[in-house]
């Protein structure tokens, strides 16, 4: 065992801290045991130490993925400010949370426009449809995406989430730079595609849009709830959680509530805004700005791909360095998300900015690829803190077009949302949602209400159940 705390920097951009442990049976791996688990790990019998078991106590890293190490006596990741934290005003009700998935955006138009919308090439895609041939105009621009089409468009109708999860494990364990380069290219493809999808829906399908109608009805509920008595103001507040990386929800909510979204702080104006918007998987219009883009020759994605840039180079050479791009605060945040309570250091998400329509080449997009087993978020820590704090007061949970299969999110929700009384599911296949939300639905006294889809809930459910 190496003496003393070490920081291990990897080619995929994450930084691990702990004690290096030599295991003769696994010479091809660097095993980094977390300090809080050292005593327990020492007590394991030799024959118990499978890679899976070791992963409960620390990180198993392929030797080739490690770029370098720093001694704990010489380096400590700087803790960045998560922003000032203002507690929720208890005179304001924070009892209703909406959670949206891809099924909501894919079915967000009603009335006479629905048929045209369903045939539109830029109808928001569900996960498996992200790489369909209708998007050829977009993916042909990205070399890494084109190289992935043999998998993404196979006749076997691949599960895109499972495919990306397998490939990410391949990147982690086998140091597969070719796959990593393709994934970075896919980030940029998804960013452009979701920008175009959002613009199409926001500009062409605004008159008969369910997000707009939802926002309109909720704004009226909010307005009617505002009461001032003896200088004390009470009101109903709403939280929206979207796992979609399009900007359809926030566009219409912003319009209906007359809330400008000029920066990321505007999403969570605590005690000032009638609603909050949380996006755990990021958004096409969020990103980290490159300080110098001159070398990219106007095509950042292709330059990164052609130069085989890994995430260490991207984060700690092109965006900044190891002192200003790591956030020491992410250790505890990552510990909460990990099922074994293992911490790591990740890129500083407090540096995220909104991206303008024409600025895509100036940023690295803050998007989480659609992995099946997701144990991370791509959102500022301040957003995460407010979102999980809101869990504590939820009494009505509304699920629209979301399968409920986000493990890291669910761990926080199940642990903290102990006041839920009512769960509303708006989905044509509620059984899937019910399976994933069973830890909540099985609680005593929970009322479950099913609506057949997004439209049914907006037309009937808001008036009846909100």
Instruction: Give tens-digit pLDDT for 384-415.
Output: 999 999 999 999 999 999 999 898 899 999 99
CA–CA gap between residue 202 and residue 124 (Å, rounded): 11
User: Looking at residues 338-361, what average pLDDT do you find?
Assistant: 91
Q: Sign of the C-alpha dihedral, residues 84, 90, 91, 96?
A: positive
Residue with tokens 């977009």, as numbered in its chain: 138
Burial of 442 (C-beta count, 10 Å sphere; 0-12/13-18/19+): exposed
pLDDT at 142 over 80: yes
Cα 135 to chain centroid, rounded: 23
Average pLDDT, the chain: 92
Which residue did the predictor score with more confidence, 371 or 66? 66
Q: What is the spatial order of strands in the sheet that 29-33 belongs to?
A: 58-62, 29-33, 15-21, 6-10, 66-71
Q: What is the DSSP letter of 314?
A: I
Q: What is the DSSP letter of 385?
A: H
Which of 274, 297, 316 is closest to 14 using CA atoms?
Answer: 316
pLDDT at 50 over 80: yes
Which of 67, 357, 93 is closest to 225 using CA atoms?
Answer: 93
User: Looking at residues 85-92, what average pLDDT do you find?
Assistant: 82
pLDDT at 374 over 70: no
Residues 6+ apart with CB under 8 A from 211: 104, 108, 248, 249, 251, 252, 253
Report the half-sphere exposure of 54 (CA within 13 A, side-chain side): 19
Cα 220 to chain centroid, rounded: 30
pLDDT at 127 over 90: no
Confidence of residue 78 (pLDDT cuts 50, 70, 90): confident
Burial of 77 (C-beta count, 10 Å sphere; 0-12/13-18/19+): buried
Reported in sequence order, the residue ranges of 210-281 that DSSP labels E, i.e. its strands, are 227-229, 232-242, 275-278
**What pairing do the DSSP bridges indicate for beta strands 92-100 and 232-242?**
parallel
Number of Cβ atoms within 10 Å of the Cβ of 147: 16
pLDDT at 1 over 60: no
CA–CA gap between residue 54 and residue 382 (Å, rounded): 32
Strand, helix or coil for residue 282:
strand
User: Looking at residues 249-275, what average pLDDT do you find?
Assistant: 94
CA–CA gap between residue 399 and residue 108 (Å, rounded): 14
Which residue did the predictor score with more confidence, 171 or 53? 53
Q: Which residues partner with 289 through β-bridges?
A: 363
- Return the HEC string of 194-219: HHHHHHHHHHHCCCCEHHHHHHHHHH
pLDDT at 338 over 80: yes
Which residue did the predictor score with more confidence, 3 or 32? 32
Residue with tokens 């006749």, as numbered in its chain: 155
Per-residue pLDDT reduced to its tens digit, 111-125: 999 999 999 999 999
pLDDT at 26 over 90: yes
Which residue did the predictor score with more confidence, 2 or 151? 151
pLDDT at 375 over 70: no
Burial of 141 (C-beta count, 10 Å sphere; 0-12/13-18/19+): middle
Q: What is the pLDDT of residue 372?
A: 52
Q: What is the pLDDT of residue 371?
A: 63
User: Looking at residues 209-238, what average pLDDT do you find?
Assistant: 94
């Amino acid at each position: 065992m190496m003496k003393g705390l070490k920081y291990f920097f990897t080619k995929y951009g994450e930084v691990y801290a702990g004690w290096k442990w030599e295991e003769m049976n696994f010479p091809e791996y660097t095993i980094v045991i977390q300090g809080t688990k050292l005593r327990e790990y020492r007590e394991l019998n030799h024959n118990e130490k499978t890679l899976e078991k070791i992963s409960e106590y620390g990180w198993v890293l392929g030797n080739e993925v490690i770029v370098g190490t720093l001694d704990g006596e010489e380096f400590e990741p700087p803790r960045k400010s998560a922003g000032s934290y203002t507690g929720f005003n208890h005179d304001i009700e924070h009892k209703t949370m909406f959670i949206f998935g891809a099924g909501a955006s894919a079915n967000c138009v009603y009335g006479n426009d629905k048929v045209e919308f369903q045939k539109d090439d830029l109808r928001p895609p569900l996960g498996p449809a992200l790489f369909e041939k209708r998007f050829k105009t977009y993916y042909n621009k990205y070399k890494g995406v084109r190289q992935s089409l043999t998998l993404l468009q196979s006749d076997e109708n691949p599960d895109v989430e499972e495919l990306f999860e397998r490939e990410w494990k391949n990147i982690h364990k086998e140091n597969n730079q070719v796959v990593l380069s393709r994934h970075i290219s896919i980030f940029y493809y998804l960013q452009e595609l979701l920008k175009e999808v959002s613009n199409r829906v926001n500009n062409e399908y605004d008159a008969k849009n369910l997000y707009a109608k939802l926002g309109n009805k909720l704004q009226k509920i909010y307005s009617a709830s505002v009461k001032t008595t003896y200088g004390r103001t009470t009101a109903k507040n709403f939280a929206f959680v979207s796992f979609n990386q399009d900007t359809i929800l926030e566009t219409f909510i912003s319009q209906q509530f007359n809330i400008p979204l000029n920066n990321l702080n505007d999403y969570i104006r605590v005690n000032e805004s009638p609603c909050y918007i949380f996006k755990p998987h990021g958004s096409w219009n969020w990103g980290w700005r490159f300080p110098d883009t001159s070398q990219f020759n106007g095509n950042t994605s292709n330059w990164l791909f052609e130069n085989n840039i890994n995430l260490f180079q991207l984060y700690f050479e092109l965006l900044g360095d190891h002192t200003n791009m790591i956030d020491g605060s992410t250790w505890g945040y990552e510990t909460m998300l990990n099922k074994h309570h293992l911490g790591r250091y990740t890129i500083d998400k407090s540096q995220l900015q909104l991206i303008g329509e024409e600025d895509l080449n100036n940023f690295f997009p803050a998007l989480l690829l659609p992995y099946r087993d997701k144990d991370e978020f791509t959102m500022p820590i301040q957003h995460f803190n407010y979102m999980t704090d809101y869990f504590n007061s939820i009494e009505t949970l509304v699920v629209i077009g979301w399968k409920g299969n986000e493990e890291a999110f669910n761990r926080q929700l199940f642990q903290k949302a102990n006041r839920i009384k009512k769960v509303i599911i708006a989905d044509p296949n509620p059984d899937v949602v019910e399976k994933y939300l069973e830890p909540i639905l099985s609680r005593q006294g929970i009322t479950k209400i099913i609506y057949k889809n997004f439209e049914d809930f907006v037309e009937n459910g808001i008036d009846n159940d909100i």
